[in-house]
Amino acid sequence: MLLTGHTGFKGTWLTLWLERLGARVTGLSDEVPTSPSLHDLAQAGAGIEQVTADVRDRAAVRAAVAAASPSVVLHMAAQPLVRRSYEEPEETFAINVQGTVNVLDAVREAGGADAIIVVTSDKCYAPGPDPHPEDDPLGGEDPYSASKAAAELVAAAYRSSFGLPLASARAGNVIGGGDWGSARLVPDVMCALMAGEDVELRNAAAIRPWQHVLNPLAGYLALAEAVVRDPGTYAGPWNFGPSPDDELPVQTVAERLAELWGGDARIVAQPGEHPPESGVLRIDSAKAREQLGWRPAWDLDAALRAIVDWYRAYERGDDLRAVTLAQIDAYEAAR
């Protein structure tokens, strides 16, 4: 299997899970995106083949795909931050759109694969009534969202023009232990709590479909298996979102984390202007539930408990590879 973006937050959880499943994995990323990082703390590179390459570098991607000759490709490498996309729109489009073209083209040139999963986002939908089913119009007003909508169009074109067994996955706001992405809720809240500081929120009222990172990753794995088995039925776009009960305001999630952590941290509004983000975003995952038998095995409460446990282990200096693998085992047991 070729996994792009393997050094990132979702990529590291998936690398460890795939290792547990006994898969042979080649990871392709340009760097380790944060410091600290789950990738380093959990020594996730230890059991796989690693390639350092920029997805914007067509020749490097082509060489990596040819060398790995993967039967399954999971493309997650991206500039994933809305905020950064306002500061670096050109970089965001280049990585997220041309990078996707480069990966898919390299796979096409290498003779295809048994399944290709392109990870986009719940933000790929044009603003409009929600929850969004998969056939809602694509759009996105900020550069990140537009780049993910464009990546969806690229994926659809490679599927229909070249007959690639290709599905795209649109997941909601993903949370879990080991995230250090900038301007994301859980890292911001947990870093403040660990430092004993007040928790500052930007868009406290924004409602998001929160889910533990293992929920969509389980969906990606189920989808890859289904596409290998029957590409004619399972290729195409798929939503992976939590139950409507877990679509909650930023403020509520921050308060629950603070409560579970203990102490007397206050939740306060961050001063200053913030780039606009949609107030409400919900997706309809009925297709994945009905056709893939997928369900989010951990609800938000289980996710928040696992997150607090993970950061406590980090604070204590525990073996985070063992801690992360144990959470994957616990998740498997809950399915």
Ligand X SMILES: NC(=O)c1ccc[n+]([C@@H]2O[C@H](COP(=O)([O-])OP(=O)(O)OC[C@H]3O[C@@H](n4cnc5c(N)ncnc54)[C@H](O)[C@@H]3O)[C@@H](O)[C@H]2O)c1
Binding site for ligand X (CB under 6 A): 5-11, 29-31, 33, 54-56, 76-80, 95, 99, 119, 121, 171, 173-174, 181
Q: Which residue is nearest to ligand X (CB)?
A: 8
Closer residue to ligand X in complex, CB, 156/198: 156
- Reading phi first (left if > 0) and then psi (alpha if -120 to 50, else beta), residue 36 is in beta
Closer residue to ligand X in complex, CB, 56/287: 56
Closer residue to ligand X in complex, CB, 59/268: 59
Question: CA-to-CA distance for 255 and 260, rounded, in angstroms?
Answer: 9
Closer residue to ligand X in complex, CB, 40/198: 40
Question: CA-to-CA distance for 42 and 322, rounded, in angstroms?
Answer: 8
Tell the smallest beta-carbon distance from residue 139 to ligand X (Å).
16
Question: CA-to-CA distance for 116 and 112, rounded, in angstroms?
Answer: 9
Spatial neighbors of 37 by CB under 8 A, at least 6 apart, are 7, 12, 178, 180
Tell the smallest beta-carbon distance from residue 27 to ligand X (Å).
8
Tell the smallest beta-carbon distance from residue 262 to ligand X (Å).
26
Closer residue to ligand X in complex, CB, 140/181: 181
Q: Is the peptide bond before 36 cis (omega within 30 degrees of 0)?
A: yes
Tell the smallest beta-carbon distance from residue 113 to ligand X (Å).
18
- Reading phi first (left if > 0) and then psi (alpha if -120 to 50, else beta), residue 53 is in beta
Tell the smallest beta-carbon distance from residue 34 to ligand X (Å).
7
* Closest of 194, 166, 165, 196 to residue 180, by C-alpha: 194
